[in-house]
A and B are shown apart, each in its own frame.
Chain A
Amino acid sequence: MREPHRSEPHGARGRAPAARGLKIRGLQVRYGEFVVVQDVSLTVAPGEIVALLGPNGAGKTTTLRAVHGIIPPVDGEITYEGRALHGMPTHERVALGLGLVPEGRELFPGMTVEENLELGHVPGRGPALADSLADVYRLFPLLRERRRQQAGTLSGGEQQMLAIGRALMAAPTLLMLDEPSLGLAPRIVDLLYDTLRLLGERGLALLIVEQYVHEALALAARGYVLESGRIVLHGPSAQLREHPNLQQTYLSV
């Protein structure tokens, strides 16, 4: 709260005159009476990798859900590629290029791995179904091995890969990931982040929500820190890593 480095609502300092990419301005979200996200502003330029950090209950998931059209914000403006998203249903946002790998993964447990992937494909958008499938299998060879297995029987790490693969099937241009490393062994987390790095190198923009900041900040160019629904810090990753408050709050974990 008493943070000198407070972000300004519109402070996308020096970045491209971004009509492109994701822009959030003055976002406010409530559950009933509770204001959960308060005056949040952030941007993700095309191809950029950005981390959104913060403790439990800070409002990270809520922010992503508002961007994806799952809950309506009370106030604020969200644009993607210059289009205002207000009131737009989720399936149209997906068609615009937004992808979300949600908290809890939200797979279809009684369907096979391949069926889960197929459902992620949006007919008429991006490469054909077979090509998208082949691409996801190249990225996650393990999923090809398990293509006939029911998603509900996968291990945690495999489920996370499937959730990411399923989101990639829609050929997103910005992929939002909600705590992708949650509950995974360190070795698997490394593997996961290698894949994310690869995706970033291909030009896919990423907005990564994490509580444990090491990997996220190593990958991201910039980061935001959310606390009690407000952005209390933001800046280049290197700078955030050095920041005393962040050191104290998270890196010790």
Chain B
Amino acid sequence: MTLPLFLELLVGGLVVGGLYALMAFSFSLILATTHVLNVAHGVFMVLGAAASTLLVRHLGLGVVPAFGLVAAGFLLVGMIFEAVLLKPMAGRASGEVLVSSILVTFGLALALEAMLGFYWARHVEPQPIFALHPRISSFALGDVVVSGPRATVLGIVAVVVGVLHLLLTRTRIGKEARAVAQNLAGALVIGLNPRRVSRAVLTIGIAAAALSGGLFVMAIPLNPFEGLRLTMIAFTVSAAGGVGNLPGALAAGIALGLAEVFTGFWAGPIWSPMMSLLVLFAVLLLRPAAILTGQGR
């Protein structure tokens, strides 16, 4: 393998991995603070990809304003999601929430996925594929040509991760979210309102998932039925990185992204998704502690 090729694969892995990290971190923050295992998380990502595609390709918006709109729109979706589906579970024991949230969000995932594929095929294009092809020119770094869209994705991911980090470490609501994730009993005793926290986390988490979907299809196209697979990836990355742990999610996401890209290169692209499922099993079996510690007691 030549060096430029290696570097190209490396950048590809970083892009995919950064996006996995972003999506996985929002997933695991939701899991850690609310005990909701959001099976629909990957579907929200796909919905974000679809919305971005619609805005950019069919309505002619620029990529960045489109992402802004998607993020804002899905803040609203997240609020509705919390109010309609998860509010009824408030006050149940955390183990119970975990299990019933799986069934509820699994149902939601299937419903959303089916509707998306159905209506897209009917009203937008017969073969639904979500992809953005923005005209951002590529540039050379030494011998290596860096694709403009990929660099843009990496840049935006870095900014979003930075913003999330500041949100969690510098703002009151971010600290409350970390507190709830670390020790729910302690958070209750000192008078934090867990509903307020879970509302904020779900809203922001779902917007982050949708945004990462929009960014994803700047690099790799998606179809409407890949949501559940993406959820599995979110689960893998958050479990490997430690639930609710941002640096951990970044490291695990990038590791998985690189593993997929290099597997795809050597064994053929059809084997990359398999790679991530195998990693999921490895993580489930080898690091159960990481999964459990992240979610309180």
Main secondary structure of the interface of B (DSSP, over half): helix
- Docked Cα-Cα span, A107 to B183, in Å, equals 7
Query: Contacts of B182 on A, CB cut-off 8 Å?
Result: 108-111
Query: Complex: how many Å from CA A170 to CA B191?
Result: 9
The total number of A-B Cβ pairs within 8 Å is 56
Cβ–Cβ < 8 Å partners of B183 in chain A: 106-109
Known contacts A100-B189, A108-B187; can you find 4 more A-B pairs with CB under 8 A?
A91-B191, A108-B182, A109-B183, A119-B176
Contact across chains for B175 and A115 when beta carbons are under 8 A apart = yes
Task: Please encode chain B, from 160 to 194, with 1 for each CB lying within 8 Å of some chain A CB and 0 for all others.
Answer: 00000000000010011011001101111111110
Contact A108 B179 (CB under 8 A): yes
A68–B189 touching, CB < 8 Å: yes
Chain B residues, CB < 8 A from A166: 190
Cβ–Cβ contact B193 & A118, under 8 A? no
Q: Which residues of chain B have a CB within 8 Å of any CB of chain A?
A: 172, 175-176, 178-179, 182-183, 185-193
The reply on A149 being an interface residue by CB < 8 A is no
Contact of A106 with B192 at beta-carbon distance under 8 Å, contacts A111-B175, A111-B182, A119-B175 already known: no
**B residues in contact with A93, CB < 8 Å:** 191
| Complex: A111 Cα to B192 Cα, angstroms | 16
Interface presence of A236 (CB below 8 A): no
A228 within 8 A of B: no
Decide if A95 touches B179 in the complex (CB within 8 Å). no
With an 8 Å Cβ cutoff, the count of chain A residues facing the other chain is: 26
CA distance A56 to B135 in the complex (A): 72
Give the residues in chain B near A105, CB-CB below 8 Å. Answer: 186
Whole-angstrom CA separation of A166 from B178 in the bound complex: 16
Q: Which residues of A contact B178 (CB under 8 A)?
A: 108, 110-111
Report the minimal beta-carbon distance from A147 to chain B, rounded to whole angstroms: 15
- Inter-subunit contact A119/B192 (CB<8 Å): yes
- Knowing A111-B179, A123-B172, the reply to whether A102 touches B191 (Cβ < 8 A) is no
Q: Residue B188 contacts which of A70, A111, A115, A120 (CB distance < 8 angstroms)? A: A70
- Closest-by-CB residue of A relative to B192 is A91
Interface on A for B, CB 8 Å cutoff? 68, 70, 89-91, 93-95, 100, 102, 105-111, 115, 118-120, 122-123, 166-167, 170
Q: List 20 A-B contacts (CB under 8 A).
A: A90-B188, A90-B189, A90-B191, A91-B188, A91-B192, A102-B186, A102-B189, A106-B183, A106-B186, A107-B186, A108-B179, A108-B182, A108-B183, A115-B175, A119-B176, A119-B190, A120-B190, A123-B172, A166-B190, A170-B190
Q: A91-B191, A91-B192, A119-B190 are in contact. Are A102 and B185 (CB under 8 A)?
A: yes
What is the CA–CA distance of A122 and B193 in the complex, to the nearest angstrom?
11
Q: Complex Cα distance A94/B190, Å?
A: 7
A70 near B175 with CB under 8 A, answer no
Chain B residues with CB under 8 Å of A118's CB are 172, 175
Q: Which of B175, B176, B189, B190 has the most CB of A within 10 A?
A: B190
- Nearest opposing residue in chain B for A118, CB measure: B175
> Is A119 a contact of B179 with CB atoms below 8 Å?
yes
Residues on A with C-beta less than 8 A from B190 are 94, 119-120, 166-167, 170
Chain B neighbourhood of A167, CB < 8 A:
190
Q: Chain A residues near B192 (CB, 8 Å)?
A: 91, 119
* Chain A neighbourhood of B189, CB < 8 A: 68, 70, 90, 100, 102, 106
Interchain CA distance A170-B183 in the complex, whole Å: 18
CA distance A120 to B187 in the complex (A): 9
B284 to chain A, nearest CB (A): 24
Most buried by A among B172, B178, B186: B186
